[in-house]
Structure 1
Amino acid sequence: MQILISVDIEGVAGVYHPEQTRAGNPEYERARRLMLAEANAAIAGAFDAGASAVYVNDSHGGFRNLPPELLDERAQAIQGKPRYLSMAAGCELGVAGMVCIGYHSRSKGRGILAHTINSFAFARIAFNGQELGELGIYGLLAGQYGVPVLAASGDDAFIEEHRALLPATEFIQVKRASGFGSGISLSPQAACAAIRAGVVRAVARASQVPVWAMAGPIEVTLQAQTPALADLFCQWPTLQRCDGERLRFTAPEVESAVRMINCLSAMSSMLR
């Protein structure tokens, strides 16, 4: 049984401030070690539950956060960009399930460091009328490959947003949000212990967790952070402007929708 672990940073215990998520400063260097520890806890839990192979998808920013020499040597790392499946890369390898560590609330949500894919570019993203954050979007992409979301960790706001969408997923709370940049966290050691135990439970029942999927076509409604960004995005001829900040497009299935969103995210750097 092969397991994919997708690891972000904003939902990691002890991470509260944007500076901790941006490479090039001491705060980030400490935060990436916290991210690494939670990744290793999830790897250990997957192997404890009988996994034969574990892939770890480095899913934050430039996708080069986890020091490979410090990652559990039993795992294989998926790093670097661009890649078509982004935070769900590895689902195409025949894995039995995906575990999402360090995930966070969607943009305009009430969680710590809440955003969706690109905080500069996107205010809201909806698929067929359902507003989604990163777990929802990449959970659907995993579902297109027949891969269920077995477990996910983060803060309480993130968990509350996703329980109804993924009722069979094992959610692991490592901190409580009291604001965008504040909250109450477990110690890193306690968070890692909770993640390891939660992943053991989740992987042990992998065959019982249903795949979450959405049949195409997918109508994507996207609210840009500014009208200027909507101007930029609508240079793409297939996008339709709805109003000053909103636009929409239709994709044949989830993967095409995600790839288009990530292209728009890359385009947004022109206006930074």
Structure 2
Amino acid sequence: MKVLISTDIEGVAGVYHPEQTRQGNPEYERARLLMAQEANAAIAGAFDAGADEVLVNDSHGGFRNMPPDVLDPRARVVQGKPRYLSMVAGVEEGVDAVCMVGYHSRAQGRGILAHTINSFAFAGVSLGGRELGEAGLYGALAGEYGVPVVMGSGDDVFIAENRGLFPQAVFVETKKATGNTSGVSLSPERAREAIRAGVQVALSSRAKVLPLVFEGPQTVTLRTQTAALADLFCQWPGFERVDGVTLRFVAADVESAVRMLNCCSAMSSMLR
């Protein structure tokens, strides 16, 4: 059994504030270690369940947060950007299951540090009329490779948003959101214990879990944070302006949609 663990930071126990997620802040240095420790818990759970090989994908920001020498040496580490498959890079290697650790709710959701891909640029992303966060987008991308999402961890809002997309998955609640930058968290130790156990249970029953598959071309609707960002993104041929802050485009599949969204995210840096 080959497992991909995709690890973000906003859903990690004890993380509440943007300073904890951005390089250059003293609090970030502690938070990146908490992120790595939750990844290690998931890696341990995967091997407990009989995994032969584990890849851990650093899926936050610049994709180089977790110090490699802190991670469980039994796993291979996917870091750095750009990469075509972004938060699920490694799924193309023929993995059997994806676990999402430290994930968060979608843009303008009520979860802790809620956003979708780029908090500066994106106010909402929909595929075929379905409002999705990162878990939905990348879960559907994994589904195009025939790989199911079997486990996810994060706050209670993240879980509520995604349980319908992944009804057979095991979810681990690391904290409860009381606001965008506040909540009530398990201790890091308790969160790691729950993640390890959750991954083991999820992988032990993975044969029953179906991939999330969105068939055919995808109509993508992107709401931007400002009209200037919509102006910028609509420089792409094929983008249709819907209103001041909303645009639409058609992608051949989920992978094409995600790659285009990540191109827009990168473009947005010129307006910061």
Compute the TM-score of the two structures, normalised by the length of structure 1: 1.00
Maintained 8 Å contact 1:2/1:54 = yes
Please show how residues 166-205 of structure 1 align to structure 2 within 5 Å: 166-205=166-205
Q: Is the 8 A contact 1:87 1:138 kept in 2?
A: yes
Partner of 1:133: 133
Q: How far did 1:202 drift?
A: 0.4
Tell me what 2:270 maps to.
Answer: 270
Distance 1:195 1:89 in 2: 21
**In structure 2, what is the equivalent of residue 149 of structure 1?**
149
- Counterpart residue type for residue 69 of structure 1: D
> Could you tell me whether the CA contact under 8 Å between 1:41 and 1:195 is conserved in 2?
yes
The amino acid of 1:152's aligned partner reads G
Residue 99 of structure 2 corresponds to which residue in structure 1? 99
Name the SS for the 1:20 alignment partner: helix
- The AA in structure 1 aligned to 2:75 is A
Deviations 1:143-191 (A, max 9, x none): 0000000100000000000111110011000000000000000000000
Secondary structure of the 1:242 match is strand
1:32 maps to: 32
Letter in 2 for 1:224: T
Partner Cα separation in structure 1 for residue 88 and residue 48 of structure 2: 23
Matched, 1:9 2:12: no
Q: 1:208 Cα shift?
A: 1.0
1:160 aligns with 2:160: yes
Q: 1:84 aligns to what SS in structure 2?
A: coil
1:221-260 aligned at under 5 Å gives the runs 221-260=221-260
Question: Counterpart of 1:73?
Answer: 73
Amino acid at match of 1:253: D
**1:88-122 CA distances to partner (integer Å, 9 max, x unpaired)?**
10110100000000000000100000000000010
State the percentage of identical aligned residues: 67
Q: Give CA-to-partner distance per residue, 1:124-147, whole Å, 9 cap, x none.
A: 000000000000000000000000
- The number of residues matched between the two structures is 272
Runs of 5+ in structure 1 lacking a partner?
none
> Are the counterparts in 2 of residues 122 and 223 from structure 1 also a CA contact under 8 Å?
yes
1:113 partner amino acid: L
Query: Could you tell me which residue of structure 2 aligns to residue 214 of structure 1?
Result: 214
Question: Alpha-carbon deviation of 1:65?
Answer: 0.4
Q: What is the Cα deviation at residue 207 of structure 1?
A: 1.1
Contact 1:221-1:248 at 8 Å conserved across structures? yes
For 1:257 and 1:4, how far apart are their aligned partners in 2? 21
Residues in 1 aligned to 2:95 and 2:206: alpha-carbon distance in whole angstroms:
11
AA paired with 2:40?
N
Is the contact made by 1:216 and 1:251 (CA closer than 8 Å) also made in structure 2?
no
The residue identity in structure 2 corresponding to 1:174 is T
> What amino acid maps onto 1:218 in structure 2?
Q
Amino acid at match of 2:194: A
Letter aligned with residue 124 of structure 1: G
Cα distance in 2 for partners of 1:216, 1:60 equals 29
- The aligned amino acid for 1:107 is A
What is the CA distance between 1:216 and its match in structure 2?
1.6
Matched AA of 1:9: I
Letter in 1 for 2:166: L
Deviation of residue 48 (structure 1)? 0.2
Query: Quick check: 1:41 aligned with 2:41?
Result: yes
How far 1:25 moved relative to its partner? 1.7
Code of the residue aligned with 1:189 in structure 2: it is E
State the alpha-carbon separation in 2 of the partners of residues 248 and 203 from structure 1: 37
Instruction: Name 1:52's counterpart in structure 2.
Output: 52
Q: Cα distance, 1:206 vs. partner?
A: 1.2
Question: Distance in 2 between the 1:118 and 1:126 partners?
Answer: 14
- Residue equivalent to 2:21: 21
Structure 2 spans left out of the alignment, 5+ residues? none
Normalised to the residue count of structure 2, the TM-score between the two structures is 1.00
Alignment-mate amino acid for residue 226 of structure 1? T
Give the secondary-structure state (helix, strand or coil) at the position aligned to 1:102. Answer: strand
